[in-house]
Every structure is written in C-alpha cells, then in structure tokens.
Amino acid sequence: MSRETIAILDFGSQYLQLIARRVRELNVYSEIFSASVSVDKLADMNLKGIIMSGGPASVYDASSPKCDEKIFELGVPVLGICYGMQLASQVLGAKIEPAKKREYGRAKLSVLDESDLLAGLPESTNVWASHGDQVKELPNGFDVLASTPTCPYAAIKNDEKQFYGVQFHPEVSHTPKGTVILKNFLYDICGCAGDWKMSDFVTETIESVREQVGSSTVICGLSGGVDSSVVASLLHKAIGDQLVCIFVDNGLLRKNEKESVVSMFKDHFHIDLRVVDWSNKFLSKLEGVTDPQKKRMIIGAEFIEAFKSEAKKIEDVKFLAQGTLYPDVIESGSKDGNPAANIKLHHNVGGLPEQLGFELVEPLRDLFKDEVRVVGEYLGLPEELVWRHPFPGPGLAVRVIGDITAGRLAILREADEILIDEVKAAGLYRQLSQTLAVLLPISTVGVMGDERSYENVIAIRSVDTTDFMTADFSRIPYEVLGTISSRIINEVKGVNRVVYDISSKPPATIEWE
C-alpha cells in the first residue's frame, strides 16, 4: 500500500508551502497539486483527504482558478481554507459576495460547535484572517461551526459531502490553535494513521535508489552544505562504493572549509571523494568583475568546467545526484499546470545533466529543508553540519562587494569565522536562521593606537525567518554584537569598522548580492 497522502490543491496562496509543512509536522505525508489536477490522478493514490488552499482571486471572476467538482465524489474529507472554502461552498450551492467589511489580520473567532473540526478550542480564540469575500448565504445541508464579528460563516461543514471550510488561516503561527484544527481534520475526520516518519522515508529511498541505479556509478557534487551532504550520505548508505563525490574548490570558500569536507566525508565516512582545485581559474576569471550577475555567471560556467574535467575521469557513470528539494519542485511549475512535473536544476549543477548525458538521482525531492535536516540527523551527520546556516552557491563572491581578490577574501574569511564563533559561543546559532559577514567596497577613517587609519568596513547580517521568502533582522543582544565588533577590529588586519544590517526582507534581500 502506498503511503497515505493529503492532497493540497494550489489556488495561489502565499501560505501554500506552509500548509504542506504543517501537515507533515503532524506526521502525515502531504503533496501539492495544481488546482486543475484530475480526479483520476488523485484517485490513484492512497488519498486520505484534500485541502483546498487560499488564494488572491474572487470565485465569481471568470478567470479565477477552479477545480474538478468531482473531488467531492472521491469519498474523502475536504478542508477549504479562505478561497478554498469559498470555491467549495459555491460548488455546493452557497452564495459568495464581497464582504461589507474586509478582514485582514487578527480576528476574534467565536466557536459555536466544537464537536469535530474545532474540538478542543475555547469558546473564543484569535485567528488570522485575510479576505475580501465571504460566504453570504448557505444552502440546506450546511452547519455553522464558528463566526467572527464581521463574518457570520467563519467555519462551516457539510456532513453529506464531508466538506469543512474555514475563512481564516489555521496554518500560520498567528492562529494559535491552528495546529489543533489541522490535527482534528487529519486524525479525527480523515482517519490518518500518522505514519510519515523519516526512518521510513530513508528506508524507502534507499530501496528506490538501488532499483534506479542498479550497478552503475553515481557522481554527486558535494559542496559541504546541508543538502548535498545529506544526499551524499544517503546515497553512500544505499550504494556504497558506486558513489563518487566531486568537491570543487573555487577559492571562494569559508576558512578551512575544504579541509573540513575532506576530513568528514573522505576520512570519517570513507566516501570516494575527488577534490578539484580550480581556485586560481575562478579568481583569474573574476578579476576586476564587480557586477553581481556577471560574478554568478562566471562562477557557474567555471564550476561546470571544473566538474566536467573530473567527471570525465570516472568510468561507468550514468547518474548525477543532486539536492533538489520539494520547494524547487513546486516553484518550477510546468505548462500543464502541474507543479510537480518540472524540476528546477540546482544552481551548482546547471546544465551538467544534458552536457554529460547523465540521468538525475534526486533522493530529497519530496522533502522540505527542515525535513532534510531530520534525515541528516538520522543518518548520523554531525550537528554542526546538519544545522549549518545556508551558504550561497557562489560562496564568498557575493559577500565581497566589488572587486574579488585573494587579499579581500582573506579579510572576509577571518571576520566570518569570528562572527560564527561568537554567535555559537552565545548559544544563538540554532535560534538564528542565517548569519553572515559582508566586506564592503569602502574604507573609513579610524584610529588604531595613536595613529590614523583608513581601512575596510565589515557589515554583519543576521535574519530570522521560517521560509526565507520573508525575513526580519535578528535582535542579537548588544553585548554579543559588541564582542563580535571588538574581536573583528582587533584581530582582522585591515578592518577598522563593523556595522549591523537592520533591514528586513522585503525590501532588502538576505544576501547583499
């Protein structure tokens, strides 16, 4: 029997991936589909329920997204969220109109019926609303479960069709009891067993990889980041010496990064690891280049050349492994509207599969980033690697603003090491989502000892985020920032000033380039 699945229909919600993650956090496997997915496709899986996401459209607009109305004949419960609730209610005979007063932000939910979907909720609780339309009239067969001061039908159900609807977002943290609502739907209404476990995923994936690759050799581009490290570890567990990893030293790595990767994967895990030192060629091509996009293009092209040079030395290679994650699958989309049909290539791999004639092995393509970390822990990877902050494919090239030289890279490496050391020493590393140092293309006046100095500026950037699509700057304690600044200025030759970036995303990005 295939794994039990909750299908999530995409109507354009900004919280789409969050819905899927919340379901999986409750140990139920979820998969996102286009709103136009066929009923036949859904019927072919071990479907336990359907969640219809929110979205920005109005159901009465001709161009608004629709779904196959036969989903209500599949015999599984359906939960509609915001737009999903409106569309399903309309299909089942309700009338939808613009609300007299739109609800955006926190709303007070009054629970009228706590027998199933809202079981365990207090009589009054906060929810997060975001809608301009709402159900105006309900036909026979519907029951009202909850209301807000401006929305009389804030939660509804139709027992005959096994339909439930909420005019708010249970998936966001601003709805404190949202997890309770989702758990009620998954376990009490859909009857899920809750058997989505990483140990089972690892076992299934190992079997799948062995079946896919047979006796062929698989090569994997290993960067030392979380995704590629978990891919390498998982594949090594599956096929052992049939795996060959290639690590490209582009000269843009953090301090001691190459040595750390070699020590862990070659010496500790005994993986066949080939190290390609292409650093001089990267730095030569980047000399005098200051435009961020040109930097990325040069780095991407040189990576391909470096990877190809080593890959051609390896015999019987048929497969290339890469760390495609589920958000990559979702975001890539496709012409037929099925978001899972077209896979976005990893930025480090680029056009390699086509150029070298490899087939792809993507063992993590069903997982979100936080799930990848859980797999890494299960496989025995060290905590400092599993919980490492994201590091960009172009490396320090996008953190050295302006000219990239060996000297400027050396300054940034030293500052970066101090920053990460002090954040870890303060016990903050796991609390922060991404922390980095940036070398600015300016010098400022300072006083070092009794002499005037005119030296470099280091910017510190740290953000808190759940999805990296939006982020807020981290509130690192002043005393920690003070220690970081003092150490960088005193220990890194060529720096006399440290600044802290307090921009949020948007409008700023997390990386500076």
Distance CA 34, CA 41 (A): 11
How many CB atoms sit inside 10 A of residue 46's CB?
10
Q: 490, exposed or middle or buried, with CB in 10 Å at 0-12, 13-18, 19+?
A: exposed
Strands (E), 401-450: 434-448
In whole angstroms, give the CA distance from residue 155 to residue 111.
9
Which is catalytic among the residues 4, 31, 67, 82?
Answer: 82
> 43 burial class (0-12, 13-18, 19+ CB within 10 angstroms)?
middle
User: For the chain, how many residues are written?
Assistant: 513
SS3 at position 314? coil
The angle subtended at Cα 207 by Cα 206 and Cα 212, nearest 5°, is 100
* H/E stretch holding 490: helix 478-491
- Beta partners for residue 9, in sequence order: 33, 52
Question: How many beta carbons lie within 10 A of that of residue 448, not counting itself?
Answer: 11
Q: C-alpha angle 322/323/329, rounded to 5°?
A: 105
Which of 131, 169, 236, 346 is labelled catalytic? Answer: 169
Distance CA 392, CA 225 (A): 9
Choosing from 4, 31, 103, 171, the catalytic residue is 171
Helices and strands (H and E) in the chain: how many = 15, 18
82 is catalytic: yes
Active centre residues (catalytic): 82, 169, 171
